Each structure stands twice: as C-alpha cells, then as structure tokens.
Amino acid sequence: MNRLQKTFQELRANNEKAFVPYIMAGDGGINGFKDRVIFLEKCGATAIEIGIPFSDPVADGPTIQDAGIRALKEGVTLKDVLQAVAELRPIVSIPLVLMTYMNPIYAYGIGSFIIEAKKAGVDGCIIPDLPIEEEEMIAPHLEDAGMELIRLVTLTSPIERIEAISKRGNGFLYAVTVTGITGARTTFNESIGDYLNRLKEVSPIPVLAGFGISTPEQVVEMSQFCDGVVVGSKIVELFHENKHDEIAKLVQAFKEVNVG
C-alpha cells in the first residue's frame, strides 16, 4: 500500500475530503518549486499534483500553459523535477503525483522514468494523453513499482467506459468537471452534481473533481458530491502573483468542509 492508498484510507476512516493543489514544477525556478511544495503541505494539502513543463500541453489552459513556458525558460527538465522530488522526500510526507504527457516520458525512456520516479519517491502519475486502450505500455510497470496511474473521466464519457476506467488502479478517479481545457470557471454545468454522484455510485475508488475549481465556494460545493477536489490554474496564478494568503484561504475552505 503506497502513500496514496494510505492517505485515502485514512480520509475514509475519518469521513474527510481531499484537497489536491496543482503546481507547475519550475515555474519560479526549481528552488521555488521546492518551497511551494513545502508551503502547500504546511497549509494542509492532502497530496500535491506536480506538472512537468512540456511544449505542447493539450489539456492545459492559458494559465498553466504560461507557467509551463516560464518553467521551460528556466531550463527545468523532467530529470530536474525528479531530483527535486528526491530532495523533498525526507521532509515532505504527503503523496506527490506527477502530471505529465507521454512525450517527456518517451524522451526520458519509460524504463528509466519508472526507476528514477520510484527512487525519488513519486506516488503516482496522471497522463492525460494516454487512453486506457494504450496504457499497457506503462501502467503495469508503474503498478509493479508501487506507483499509481491516476485515470481521468469526463462529462462525455459513457457509463460503460467510466466503469471500466474506475475499476483500474487503487489511487483515485480524476473527474474532469468541464468540457475543454483547464482554467478557472465562474460557473459549471448544472448537472455537475448528478455527474459526480453517478461516478461515486460506480467507482470502487475515491472520486476527485478537477478542472475549473478556483474559489473557496466552489471547493465547498464540489466536495458535497465527491471525495475531494483538485485545484490547479488558480493555485498556479496565485503563486505567480505571490498571493500565498489567498492559497491559504482555499485550503482553509477545504478544512472547513472536513470540520463540517
């Protein structure tokens, strides 16, 4: 049982929700990345999703794309991020999940990536451009190394596909809450509650909602229907603007959900 499984088991036992912030590794430099991970853990994050800078991030909206460009201009590579995670592991205890596309993994070498990620203390990977029909190239290797492949489902995924996806793995099911790319939203589809409830009914693993969630009110609203939330673009934006207090407010909203 890895850190992700243990964490969600503890949350379930305590009837608590998960708050997973996303950050772009290297936005603000590699040392800034390490500082941000430490800050988020101190704020009370359940786990952290770590974006790998990539030149063609098809699932990412403008905020995260810009963060990736800034990180690439800093010269940050996948190897740098794995080294930074390894340096963080002795002082950071929460799960760390990499969000990357297949191209950087191919360039690194799938075998080498698995070995180095495990050695660094990575707990899982989110790979948006990897459909379940092609995941055999990496999923079994991640599992053998004790890391989870976190799979995504969308508002347009047929129920049969949702059932097939949710039965794989032991981490969490990433429920995309918008039709399109990442980025803060002011409103969501009015059937979002029904969608998340349907996922909860069929999924044997925890369901986390992500994409577009950007305010304390949305954190509270989405948490009513599932096991927690992922907040990405807003966290990236606030870090870039050096508004750490606003990030703390988002995490505080999540804590209040758990207290309530």
The CATH number that applies at residue 215 is 3.20.20.70
Q: How many residues does the chain have?
A: 260
In this structure, is residue 1 part of a structural domain?
no
Q: What is the mean pLDDT of residues 23-31?
A: 95
In this structure, is residue 6 part of a structural domain?
no
User: Is the confidence at residue 180, as pLDDT, over 80?
Assistant: no
Q: Which long-range contacts (CB under 8 A, 24 or more apart) does 67-72 make?
A: 67/24, 67/27, 67/236, 67/240, 68/24, 68/27, 70/24, 70/26, 70/27, 70/28, 70/240, 71/24, 71/25, 71/26, 71/27, 72/26
Task: Return the structure tokens found at 197.
Answer: 């409830």
The whole model's pTM is what?
Answer: 0.93
Q: 137: which DSSP letter?
A: G
In this structure, is residue 173 part of a structural domain?
yes
Looking at the structure of the chain, the number of domains it has is: 1
In this structure, is residue 86 part of a structural domain?
yes
Task: Return the structure tokens found at 3.
Answer: 């850190």
In this structure, is residue 10 part of a structural domain?
no
pLDDT band at 29 (very low <50, low <70, confident <90, very high): very high
In this structure, is residue 4 part of a structural domain?
no
Boundaries of domain holding 223: 18-259
**Residues forming the active site:** 49, 60
User: Is the confidence at residue 187, as pLDDT, over 60?
Assistant: no
In this structure, is residue 203 part of a structural domain?
yes
How far apart CA 235 and CA 189 sit, in angstroms, is 22
User: Is the confidence at residue 181, as pLDDT, over 80?
Assistant: no
In this structure, is residue 183 part of a structural domain?
yes
